[in-house]
Amino acid sequence: MNHPGRIQPDIIADDIESPKGWRSFAAHLFAPIKITWGQFFDLLVPLRHSPHIRRHAASVIISRIQLVAALFAVMVPLWSIIDWFVFPWPQWAQMTALRLASGAIFLLLAWPWTMGKTRIQADAMLMVMLLVPPVFYLLSIVITADLQVTGTALLVTKMYALMPNIVLAGLAIFPLTAFEVALFSAPAFIFAVAGLIMGGEALSLDQHGPMLWLMVLVMGVAMFSGMSQLHYITALVNRAMIDPLTGAYTRRSGGEALDLQYRLAAMKNTPMAVAFFDLDKFKSINDTYGHDEGDKALRGLADKLREGLRRGDVLVRWGGEEFVAILTETGADGAKILLERLRQSGFGLRPDGTPMTASIGVAERNADNVSDWPQLIELADQRMYEAKRGGRDRAVLPGGVVLKFGDRDIF
């Protein structure tokens, strides 16, 4: 007999042991993260990251490198004061020169250079910054090799031996994938082992295993921290660049995509078209059936457009009921074929069950001889209004070509 308020252990055990129970447990455990397997793969390796993600991650990495480098540009040379007290001449002078050289490198990394923040630049700067401490460590071994250090001097030299660990710990502040953390960690392990060999020690598992195990643990923590930061950045960027209602790019992120695609097309001298879609009589849907039905119509149109576009094309919600499709490596003839296929598959249904239609304007880089992407958008916008004035449910393309969908009984 079951009693109210009393926990039934057998029921809970059965539920957890069942596949459904495990899924429920995992869902509750990982609910705050809400990460899919695809997203998890993107945190492991940087193969599928979009240009937006790479650019924002690069910006964060470079900013943090400059901050850390600025601190070390001051702290590393100042540490020479301790070297003066613990090392004799000429070792303290050599250590001071080594610190000044390291500080100069950090200063160059911290300097606010006027440059674009690309991922290649970010990775190069990060690798340089991470190489300075272990190289300093190896050179300090060479400088102090002939000294019989004791007391405070011995303590200082042992602190130098921790520099590879400092490198691994420092990786924790950067948004990196697991693969990137492992890649940037490799020099620290190599230099740590090299330092032991240069110090005259014979490598053994029982003596040096704990040190290497600690380094692996520190790398693991850095890996988890880097993946968490990257996931957070990805979520923020996607929220800023993706329209939450339709799943299309926002106007701002769409403008960035247009700029990139136009520059690539101009550089390779390939065609590029944009199609400007405006849902016909959309206001009547909101006025008659309410905004929920209007939102449903917009989602339906976006879904239909995405289904018909190619993998490399980009869909942008330009504003309200207006959408822009960026058709990469597509000329005017290719855009015409695409629009006919889109219209045949339909744009969804209005709340009363009748087919939704759209007025469409198309502009193409070569056919219209434009000099930048804003001109391309302006031409497509003008042709969209021309299609609307001409009776709606049609498309106006370069050269005055008009596709009158309704007259062709597509539905």
Q: Do residue 347 and residue 395 come from a single domain?
A: yes
Query: Does residue 169 share a domain with residue 228?
Result: yes
The verdict on residue 255 lying in a domain is yes
Residue 34 lies in a domain: no
* Domain endpoint, select from 205, 240, 275: 240
**For residue 32, is it within any domain?**
no
Say how far apart CA 99 and CA 101 lie, in whole Å: 5
How do residues 295-311 score in pLDDT, each as one tens digit? 999 999 999 999 999 88
Q: Which residues of 161-181 are buried (b: 16+ CB within 10 A; e: fewer)?
A: bebbbebbbbbbbbbbbbebb
- The per-residue pLDDT for 385 is 95
Among 100, 101, 56, which Cα is nearest to 81's?
100
- What percentage of residues in the chain have a pLDDT greater than 70? 90
Q: How far is residue 335 CA from its own chain's centroid?
A: 30
CA quadruple 136, 142, 148, 149: dihedral, nearest 10 = 0
Structurally, the chain folds into a number of domains equal to: 2
Has residue 245 been placed in a domain? no
Reduced to 3 states, what is the DSSP secondary structure of residue 347? Answer: coil
Domain at 331, CATH number? 3.30.70.270
CA distance 314 to 260: 12
21 in any annotated domain: no
Which tens digits make up the pLDDT trace of 214-227? Answer: 999 999 999 999 99
State the residue range of the domain holding 228.
41-240
Give the residue-averaged pLDDT of 48-60. Answer: 86
pLDDT digits (tens, 9 = 90+) for 32-46: 556 778 888 999 999
- Please indicate, yes or no, whether residues 50 and 91 belong to a single structural domain of this protein: yes
Give a yes or no: residue 199 inside a domain.
Answer: yes
Residues present in the chain in total = 411
Q: What is the pTM of this model?
A: 0.69
Q: Are residues 236 and 283 in the same domain?
A: no
> Which comes out higher in pLDDT, residue 85 or 186?
186
69 and 146, same domain (yes or no): yes
Domain presence at residue 340: yes
Query: pLDDT per residue over 135-169, tens digit each?
Result: 988 898 888 887 776 777 777 777 777 888 888 99
pLDDT digits (tens, 9 = 90+) for 324-372: 999 999 999 999 999 999 988 889 889 998 999 999 999 999 999 999 9
- Please indicate, yes or no, whether residues 199 and 303 belong to a single structural domain of this protein: no
Task: With respect to residue 104, please indicate whether it lies within any of the assigned structural domains.
Answer: yes
